[in-house]
Structure 1
Amino acid sequence: MSATRDGHRLTPDAAPAWLRPLVDNTDGVPRAYRRRMPKDVLTAVTAANATAAVTGTRRDAAVLVLFSGPPDAGQGLPDDADLLVTVRASTLRHHAGQAAFPGGATDPGDEGPVHTALREAAEETGLDAERVHPLATLQRMFIPPSGFHVVPVLAYSPDPGPVAVVEESETAIVARVPVRAFVNPENRLMVYRDANSRRWAGPAFLLNQMLVWGFTGQVISAILDVAGWAVPWNTDDVRGLDEAMALVGQDAGYGESQQ
């Protein structure tokens, strides 16, 4: 067991065998994330990151990447493993209607990213943090449009208990999505926001109730690669956001600022 910088405990040994390839190779997630970004885009993001740090406009945040599934399953992804995902309310000022990991901005009283991620997840989904084993913190990632520097907190729970929308003005959907739904190549595509940002096209997932794209889609795609769960899929299926939104019945204002 090891301590994070915020005093919260990381318990990597609590990961079941099927999560070990991911937990043991978390350094590979940022690399896999960046591999999907064109060089000019990566250069622009790196420059924006440096500017935010120098000007003091950087905003810290954390998200909870919570996997659930059987503790005693062997190696290989179990059929009943799932990932906790939310959809933000369509009335919010930022990232309205977007699928996301539970999480948010760091509060002054937070003791670090693990604290932030667990607090935000409890506020958004009613999650009982006592049921959750934080396994690892991933490298901080920068999201240029919002200026957030986000730490994904990888976690596991054999049974997270009931989760649901707590505040409808903030969250529209809370769902434990089967990991195999993300793995399924029929659910995968590449999405760009508008005609002027086609070079920003990134991995996305088309599910029954949601389109998962932008930062969240990129992180999930990188996790699938690093964990060894990804299967070949059609990366030439590249669509504009409006077209992809229509497939899940969303309007054209959905998710304007996530990338």
Structure 2
Amino acid sequence: MVGSLQRYDAADFRTRAGRHRPEDEVTGPGPTYLAHGDHALNADMVLGIDQTTLRDAAVLIPVIEDGNDARVILTQRTATLRKHSGQIAFPGGAVDPGDGSVDFAAKREAQEEIGLDPDLVDVVGHLPDYLTMTGFRITPVLSVVKPGFDLVPNPAEVDAIFEVPLDFLMDPANHRQESRVWEGRERHYFVMPYGERYIWGVTAGIIRVLYERLYA
């Protein structure tokens, strides 16, 4: 349960992110990413993915700097995309050879997908890599976004842009566990319904890691 004295503003998020190091919280044998989130629920499947060739990707976790109640920018992907179509997602995508860093890639993708000015984005930290069943190794890039942005969805990739209060996403009461059979094996995952939006899959998994690493 979220405590009444807990803070959910961008300044506090910045402080928590700045003192967090992904490598500092290994709680058992194996890679760091197996310690938290839905990877911990599907360790055998994730280790199987880790033996394959993965493409590097980055997503931006954009927390808006606006008063005491921070909000997180999320998107709904178009139904025509080849992977993760129609799902709720953070802005992001594959790291291109010319990007130079995951931070640059995450900000570039956010500008391409939703028109977010990279000059308004301050990177404040990272979460451990998140491995996907579709062949990506994703680095979640934590950021604080200054007010004054004007977001425009790229219709080829994004159907909608919306914001969710950080305190909603960081409340474990809003994190449900579900499962389904995927390629003959049961996979467990988190879901976080918010109004008409159904947050699940990779995005919910990363949000759960954010909660466990910074707020639990």
Does residue 59 of the first structure (1) align with residue 55 of the second (2)?
yes
> How much has 1:102 moved relative to structure 2?
0.3
Written as runs of structure 1 = structure 2, the 5 A alignment for 1:1-259 is: 16-27=11-22, 28=25, 30=33, 33-34=36-37, 37-38=40-41, 41-52=42-53, 58-70=54-66, 78=68, 80-143=69-132, 145-159=133-147, 161-165=149-153, 167-184=154-171, 187-194=174-181, 199-228=186-215
Aligned mates of 2:19, 2:161 — CA distance in 1: 28
Instruction: Work out whether residues 67 and 83 of structure 1, in 8 Å CA contact, stay in contact via their aligned partners in 2.
Output: yes
Tell me, in whole angstroms, the C-alpha distance in 2 between the residues paired with 1:171 and 1:220: 20
Q: Distance in 1 between matches of 2:182 and 2:129?
A: 29
Point out the more displaced range, 216-225 or 18-27: 18-27
Which residue type is aligned with residue 37 of structure 1?
Answer: A
TM-score normalised over the length of structure 2: 0.80
Shift of 1:122: 0.4
**Cα-to-partner distance string for 1:143-184 (whole Å, 9 max, x where unaligned):** 1x211111111111232612231x223111111221123245
Larger fraction in strand? 2
Contact 1:90 1:96 in 2 (8 A): yes
Q: TM-score, normalised by structure 1?
A: 0.68
Q: Is the 8 A contact 2:191 2:198 kept in 1?
A: yes
Partner deviation per Cα, 1:187-244 (whole Å, 9 max, x = no partner)? 432232448778422221101232111121011112122222x5xxxxxxxxxxxxxx
CA offset at residue 63 of structure 1? 0.5
Q: Give the counterpart letter for 1:63 in structure 2.
A: V
Q: Which structure has the larger Rg?
A: 1
> Identity over the aligned pairs, expressed in percent?
29
- Structure 2 counterpart SS, 1:201: strand
Identify the residue that residue 6 of structure 1 maps to in structure 2: none
Supply the distance in 1 between the matched residues of 2:99 and 2:183 (Cα, whole angstroms): 38
Q: Structure 2: which amino acid aligns with 1:42?
A: A
Q: Distance in 2 between matches of 1:137 and 1:18?
A: 12
Gaps of 5+ in 1: 1-14, 53-57, 231-259
Any conservation in 1 of the 2:20–2:125 contact (CA below 8 Å)?
A: no
SS at match of 2:190: strand
* Residue ranges of structure 2 left out of the alignment (5+ in a row): 1-9, 26-31
Distance in structure 1 (CA, Å) of the matches to 2:151 and 2:138: 23
Aligned residues: 199
Give the superposed CA RMSD: 2.6
* Cα distance change of structure 1 residues 32 and 101 upon mapping to structure 2, 3 Å threshold: farther
